[in-house]
Chain A
Amino acid sequence: MSTTPNRWKRFADWDERPLRLDKFAVEDAANGFAAFTSPADPKPGIGINASRVISLDGVLEHEFDMIDLFIARHHIDPDIAPEAMAIPSSTLARMLVDMHVPRQELVRLAHGLTPAKLAETVSQLNALEIAFAYQKMRARKIPGNQAHVTNAKDDPLQLAADAATAVGFGFDEIETTMRVSRNAWSNALACAVGGAVGRWGTLFQCSSEEAEELRIGMAGFTSYAETVSVYGTEKTFIDGDDTPWSKGFLAAAYASRGIKMRCTSGAGSELLMGFHESKSLLYLEARCLCLQRAMGVQGTQNGGIDGAPVTATVPGGVRELMAENLIAVWLDLECASGNDARTTESEIRLGAKIWPYLVGGSDLICSGFGSILKYDNSFNPSLFNGEEMEDYLVLQRDFEADGGLTPISESTALDLRARAIEALSAVQEELGLATPTADMKQSVVVASGSDDTRSFSPRETSVMSEKIKSQGITVVDVIKALAKRGFADEAENLLSVVRLRLSGDYLQTAALVRGGKVLSAINNPNDYLGPGSGYRLSPERREEIVNIRDVLDQKEVLRSEAMHEKEEAKRIRYARVKQADVSQDSKDVVIGISPGFGLKLFQTTAGHRLSDVLLELVTAISARGLTPRIVRFNHTADTSFLGLSAAGLSGSGVGIGIQAKGTAIIHQRGRLPHNNLELFSNAPITKLVHYRGMGANAAAYALGEMPEPIIVPQHGEAMGSRYHARTAMIYAIETALTSESAVPEEIAIEFLGRRA
């Protein structure tokens, strides 16, 4: 009786994949699980009487809830609505992806479009069309990115160091929050100082309770805010303890303090909060976004955000996140386009999620790229985190796309961290907050995450934070402290950020600071009108992006080979004897070596010395009473032809061809070039024991036997990605040595310093 379960084991394999940790939901519009459309969504429509909106998406004015009412009074432009609403949504959809229709024209029409019309229009685009339209419609030309800078201990030294590294990587904004809410002031001071190291212009926010956040802003530590949430149903809004009017008031309050602000909204929040009215995620989000334009905020943090993971459980959910971002930019809002919450455990889903934003650009591609490790992210892990930073840098390089980040060297990172920690320590000492020890500082400089640090405890930080607040310490005190202790550059940088609020230039739509200048949708508008227009990588920027660490060139390969040359000279000697001829001795097996074998190249890609490889082959052939003959071919470096040429000279008719990188073949006279006896194509995983087996099998074929072929076991390694750059460079060195008419050379080898 068999006890084998009746199940294809592949499903058991799949059970073990990270993907299966993701849970998926059935589409169920009645219960709010519908991405693009729901039977409960209204049909688009508008009624206007004497410049007054009297109906909106099928709801009459006297039945307006507060969201309808706010949109009707503050978003809809009654002069434009009749014209815009008369255009079929299929036409609007085509205009969005038509590169000849300028962004401004679509933005003008959006002032007269209702939420249902906006949703109906973008629903008609597939994911690629949404991405294309987003690239065309986003407000600012140059793309940017935002980082989360937090840690599990609220340790200010680490915050300063991580803020400085985030600035070094090129983030335009950094956002912090706390594990313990009373640590807000300490977090703010630490990030403000760390963010002033290296260059100026990185905007900074400290996400905390509304009133506290505004106070911290007024003390000059922060320069923007984005946690002002809005929702798409009235009941959710009220449960969120706000109304469109209270949030709109807050928007004016932030601007009145010279602080940049955007709202936050994203699909799934109404679903998570239980009041979705059975409407689709996209329709509710369209309402949120119209509200935000109506309130007069310059931008939005949008694209699921906290609701992104639940949205990604629904069919089409990830496409929906893209669609809502498109509505945001169509409404002319700066878009910090989500890509913050970790929507999946699958790295494939994750990479697919970021791709359109990376390639098409966004005002802020991530509204929080976790610049720290996952466990240090007090917002919860981001889509990308400290762990995956280099993957992102390589994606930029792969697609020649500006994801807003720039690779930095190890020494630069270390310098920035040390400088930030010294600067913050000086400020803490000057202001009588704390005196960090050398050990604390050193532990943080090198720490990848807070598990590695011996620094302030959360309680010590709380004491500091309370002091900053109660003593009324402001950014002016911090600037003075920095200057007094010799951190003039950092003092100047910090002052420059605070000075931004005097003119308010950075309050305009999609503003960031690059090279000491404010760039926004006003002076850096997206002017995409097809190839050659819009944002393009400059040669200088491309150079920054491609300059990742540890890249190979041929010089590097030759340098590494030269290191092995001396070693090999002590182990083996190759001597040219004469031109090699066809042998009549049926006992000989020719080992055909490539032009650079042992002359320019000395190890296989698996790292075996060529002397050891030859020793294995020779020993195994000799063990069967046959004679191994070494012949160097200079007319080819190709494995098949090396093997076939070797077989042609061999008295037994069997030959081995082997390249310096270790790729080898057993061949037989008279066969077609690519119809060999055995091929050893995966040199990087071919071990000495396999070369011994190769020798033995070649001997067996020569003796007329039929041996079991040698199988080099492989485990699915991405051989090409690991080795092909080096392999191609090595092979180029070999092919450069070939010449068509070169004759084969009989080589006598001598193994030195050991018994062959």
Chain B
Amino acid sequence: MTKKLGIADYPLAETQPEKVIGARGLALPDVTLAAVIKGDVTMEDLRITPQALRAQADIAQAANRGTLAQNFERAAELVNVPQDFIMATYELLRPGRAKSKDALLEAARILRETYHATDMATYVEEAAEVYERRGLFTFRF
């Protein structure tokens, strides 16, 4: 899925099911009940991929939904970020959890350097800046 997709490509599961490929290489038409029963399908094969999210971002953009497209782009960056780190970052973004800007900037650095989640990192950095301005680093409980 290299070329930009448009509205006519939607839904991908109908227009190009063979190109919808899971994390371990299993294509959509191969995810069958028989394969599940044989044990050939795991939860890993049922996860969305960054490629699929970027394809959906293209489609959203083509439908003039820029902010939705950006969310899909950020989501694509998070696909391979471990759940624990996602939950820890979410927790840090809640009011009063981080005691200073530094904790958020550190999370942003890890997102950028370890997971190549550049948009998400920028987003967390923006939060750090705003939280400082609005005094959200105060202790809450």
Contacts and interface: CB of A to CB of B under 8 A. Distances in A.
Interface of A: 65-66, 69-70, 73-75, 77, 104, 107-108, 111, 210-211, 214-215, 218-220, 234, 237-238, 241-243, 245-246, 248-258, 293-298, 332, 474-476, 479-480, 483-484, 488, 491-492, 495, 498-505, 507-509, 517-518, 520-523
B126 A73 contact: yes
27 contacts: A66-B130, A66-B136, A73-B126, A111-B66, A218-B83, A238-B95, A243-B93, A243-B95, A243-B136, A245-B124, A255-B72, A256-B53, A258-B46, A296-B69, A296-B70, A296-B71, A476-B42, A480-B36, A501-B47, A501-B48, A503-B20, A503-B48, A505-B10, A507-B53, A508-B56, A509-B60, A522-B63
Given A243-B94, A245-B130, A249-B90, A476 B46 contact: yes
Nearest to A493: B33
Nearest to A254: B75
Given A214-B87, A255-B75, A476-B43, A509 B65 contact: yes
Contacts of A249: 89-90, 93, 120, 123-124
B94 A502 contact: no
Contacts of B55: 504
A296 B76 CA distance: 13
Contacts of B105: none
A73 B130 CA distance: 12
A483 B39 CA distance: 12
Contact of A499 (B28, B86, B93): B28
Contact of A242 (B64, B77, B95): B95
B110 interface: no
B87 A211 contact: yes
A108 B64 CA distance: 8
Given A495-B36, A505-B10, A238 B136 contact: yes
Contacts of A257: 47-48
Given A219-B43, A502-B22, A508-B56, A246 B71 contact: no
Given A252-B120, A256-B81, A297-B71, A502 B95 contact: no
B134 interface: yes
B13 A258 contact: no
Interface in B4-40: 7, 10-14, 17, 20, 22, 28, 31-33, 36-37
Contact of B127 (A243, A483, A500): A243
Given A246-B90, A295-B71, A479-B36, A508 B60 contact: yes
A504 B53 contact: yes
B67 A503 contact: no
Contact of A75 (B67, B79, B123): B67
Given A500-B13, A502-B28, 19 more contacts: A69-B130, A74-B67, A107-B64, A218-B83, A241-B94, A245-B93, A245-B123, A246-B93, A252-B78, A295-B67, A476-B46, A501-B48, A504-B12, A504-B55, A505-B13, A507-B72, A508-B59, A509-B68, A518-B14
B103 interface: no
A488 B56 CA distance: 31
Nearest to B41: A476
Given A211-B87, A243-B127, A296 B12 contact: no
Interface in B113-139: 120, 123-124, 126-127, 130-131, 134, 136
Interface centre among B32, B36, B49, by most A CB within 10 Å? B36
A480 B64 contact: no
Contacts of B69: 296
B50 to A, nearest CB: 9
Nearest to A479: B36
Contacts of B60: 508-509
Nearest to A518: B11
Contacts of A253: 75, 78, 86, 90
A450 B49 CA distance: 41
Contact of B13 (A211, A219, A255, A503): A503
Closest 8 pairs between A and B when the two form their complex, measured CB to CB: A296-B71, A258-B48, A255-B75, A256-B78, A245-B127, A246-B93, A505-B11, A252-B74
